[in-house]
Amino acid sequence: MSATPAAVIVAIDGPSGTGKSSTSKAVAARLGLRYLDTGAQYRAMTWWMLNNGIDVSDPSEIAAAADKPAIVSGTDPQAPGISADGADASVPIRSQEVTAAVSAVSAVPEVRTRITDLQRTIAAGTQEPGDAGTGIVVEGRDIGTTVLPDADLKVFLTASPEARAARRSGELKSADGKAHADLAATQQALAARDKADSSRKTSPLKKAGDAVEVDTTELTLEQVIECVVTLVEKASADKAGRMEKAAR
Ligand SMILES: Nc1ncnc2c1ncn2[C@@H]1O[C@H](COP(=O)(O)OP(=O)(O)O)[C@@H](O)[C@H]1O
Ligand SMILES: Nc1ccn([C@H]2C[C@H](O)[C@@H](COP(=O)(O)OP(=O)(O)O)O2)c(=O)n1
């Protein structure tokens, strides 16, 4: 693990299957930064609502329940962890049931306000002793545009719909042990989620104007990680230079 010269705030956004989680975790681990999976927070909120009888087809019921569960996210890139009202949510938030409902829940403004506040508190490092002044890699859909518009580096990952579906169906296959996950159905489900996430009114999935776009279609995961590590190291050195100049 190489040390970064200045604590940096890194925003990594993009649609599903572009490599956000794998890249963000690896970059954070290599550079000694914290890590936050914001999709996991929306998934934990959705899981809690499904478990607590909230009708997730009714935005007013979702809005009324948005401030109820305590959502706690870990920031260790090697073992992030997430809980809702004290119950470990790490595994159930990946279920098909949660995946199918998460776009509707995360489109509700009250949910976004609640979770955005949590994200900003975690990024600021004021929650845990020892976190203050440490950098973080935050991945999601609206980090560069809304949650952390002053991030030191913004990256927007993309990949072709075919590559993204192949990656996701590979994961589903290894999870359920079936020989052939349905690639076409996976691609269709991803397209539907993209559409919902990009067309919602509040804070849609969108590339920030000042984000660096990386098309990962033809890159291996290791190549993407190396590319982002280089970008973070440069952003960190630039920040250290600015801080030094300001201190003179
Ligand atoms: N560049 C890449 N080439 C091949 N597979 C990749 C690449 N990036 C990620 N993957 C794989 O694709 C799957 C989805 O990646 P993930 O990081 O969860 O994407 P996201 O967080 O954007 O949904 C994982 O199984 C991951 O190992
Ligand atoms: N910053 C974010 C992160 C996720 N979301 C919503 C929209 C996404 O479809 C879901 C799930 O996100 P997640 O990153 O877990 O999805 P994938 O792992 O890429 O399939 O949460 C969001 O609205 N804003």
Q: Give the pLDDT means over successive 10-residue stretches in the chain (248 positions).
A: 69 97 98 97 98 98 98 97 98 96 97 98 85 90 98 98 92 59 87 95 96 98 98 94 89
Does residue 16 have a known ligand-binding role? yes
CB 148 within 8 A of CB 11: yes
**Ligand 1: distance of its center to the CA of 19 in Å?**
4
For position 248, what pLDDT does the model report? 87
- How many Cβ atoms are within 10 Å of 10's Cβ, its own excluded? 29
pLDDT for residue 173: 64
CA 216, CA 38: separation in Å to the nearest integer?
21
Backbone φ/ψ region at 10: left (φ over 0), alpha (ψ -120 to 50), beta: beta
Establish whether residue 22 lines the binding site of ligand 1, counting it when its CB lies within 6 angstroms of any ligand atom.
Answer: yes
Largest CA distance in the chain: 63
Q: Ligand 1: which of 23, 141, 167 to mutate, judged by most atoms within 8 Å of the beta carbon?
A: 167
Q: Answer yes or no: are the C-beta atoms of 178 and 36 closer than 8 Å.
A: no
To the question of whether residue 73 is assigned a binding role by annotation, the answer is no
**Ligand closest to the CA atom of residue 215:** 1
Distances in Å between the Cα of 199 and the Cα atoms of 14, 88, 190 are 14, 31, 14
- Residue 226 main-chain phi, psi, to 5 deg: -60, -40
Would you say 90 and 73 are in contact if contact means Cβ atoms under 8 Å apart? no
Instruction: Give me the pLDDT at residue 174, please.
Output: 63
Residue 18 counted as an annotated binding residue: yes
User: Which pLDDT score is estimated for 176?
Assistant: 58
The domain 9-160+206-222 belongs to what CATH superfamily?
P-loop containing nucleotide triphosphate hydrolases (3.40.50.300)
Q: Is 16 in the pocket of ligand 1 (CB under 6 A)?
A: yes
User: Is this complex scored with an ipTM above 0.95?
Assistant: yes
Q: How high is the pLDDT of residue 175?
A: 60
pLDDT at 1: 45
What pLDDT score does 177 carry?
Answer: 55
Task: Please state the domain extents for the chain.
Answer: 9-160+206-222
Q: Output the pLDDT for position 206.
A: 95
